[in-house]
Amino acid sequence: MQLQHLNGLIAAPFTPMNPDGTLNLSIIPQYYALLKENGVTGAFICGSTGEGVSLSVAEKKAVAEAWSTAVGSDAGFKVMTLVGGTSVAESTELAKHAADCGLYGVAFTAPFYFKPASVDALAETCAQVAAAAPHLPFYYYHIPVLTGVGYSMKGLLQAVHGRIPNFAGIKYTHEDFMDFLSCMHFDGGRYDMLWGRDENMLAALALGAKGAVGSTYNYAAPLYIRMIDAYEAGEMEAARQFQLQSIHMIELLGKYGGIATGKAYMRKLGLDCGAFRLPVRNMSDAQFNLFSKEVDGLMFQSYCSKMPVEAA
């Protein structure tokens, strides 16, 4: 199959929830419109930001179907879903479903309970899941801080090369720039390397990254587009300042509890995605008020994503 390298910002959407913790799929068309309006080129659903590990198989399928319906015939907007977890059987089932409902691609992360004992075992596992959707691009999602599986990704490419025809590339959420650059140049740059750390995207651009997947692109895509434009124009000091704004914004994620804080940023935009499921902790109303004041102090409105104006 003909594999392509993706460019631009691919958001990792939050999975919208109702107050009772059930899925709120009704706002996904509006969510898609928001991303599209702000220059985002795709969505990586059911990942870490999307609480994929906290969703049932049926719920993951429902989320995939909702995004497929919302995007419709927009071939320029790529939707891929994370099918990885602790069960390879469930992963293959979800990969088949992704193909059936017309998604662009699938991603798989290392099983994190019974971990693969070697990079060859990881490659074998990838091969089994990729074969379930042989006509879709298959990405490995490298996030060792959460999976505890930290093999060299150059080693993984060596193990899968010539073995998995639809292996498209890696979503690289780690700080090993040496490994990342080695992967980018493996076999003449064959594989698509998508950067996954928003807070140091500028460094990845310097290494030649063209596509990135991240959670903050949900609510601050214009900031990163300005940074990319400044970098490409050779305006390095401006690019550094945009990255610094990104860092200040991301620092509030840690200050107010971690990953769930991203949904508070979405609430600031006017798209309420609800709360995260347990065991993730959500902020209280009082904490949200404090958070909101700090966000305003960062001049968030000057670079945040804007909700599309509905046609009259």
- Annotation says 113 is catalytic: no
78, 171, 191, 231: the catalytic one is: 171
139, 141, 151, 219: the catalytic one is: 141
- Annotation says 256 is catalytic: no
Provide the residue count of the chain: 312
Catalytic positions: 141, 171
